Amino acid sequence: MNETSSYPGQVWLCLYTDLLVFLTMGVLSLALILIPFIPGLRDIPRWVPLYRFIWRDHYRAQRRALSKR
């Protein structure tokens, strides 16, 4: 290891690590964009209705407002 500054490792390794970061982020971004089109993943909210627990106060208030009419 011929270190010329406080950075560890060879200088040319930086290019490969940058490339790996960009490729990883690209794959993850593409996966997030394509979630609505992947049949198994888009059905998870139907199988696990977690949104009902999160939005229960909103749904309760909405029911009260409709029953007052």
Confidence of residue 4 (pLDDT cuts 50, 70, 90): low
Residue type, 52: R
Within-domain flag for 18? yes
Within-domain flag for 2? no
What is the residue range of 25's domain?
A: 13-68
Tokens encoding 50? 């977690």
Instruction: With CA atoms as reference, report the closest residue to 2 among 13, 20, 17.
Output: 13
Instruction: With CA atoms as reference, report the closest residue to 11 among 19, 3, 20.
Output: 3
Quote the pTM value. 0.49
pLDDT confidence of residue 17: 75
Within-domain flag for 5? no
Residue tagged 């939005």 (tokens): 55
Q: In whole angstroms, what is the distance from residue 22 CA to residue 56 CA?
A: 40
Half-sphere exposure of 10 (CA within 13 A, CB side): 5
Within-domain flag for 30? yes
The string of pLDDT tens digits covering residues 12-68 is: 666 677 888 899 999 999 989 998 898 888 888 889 989 888 899 999 999 999 888
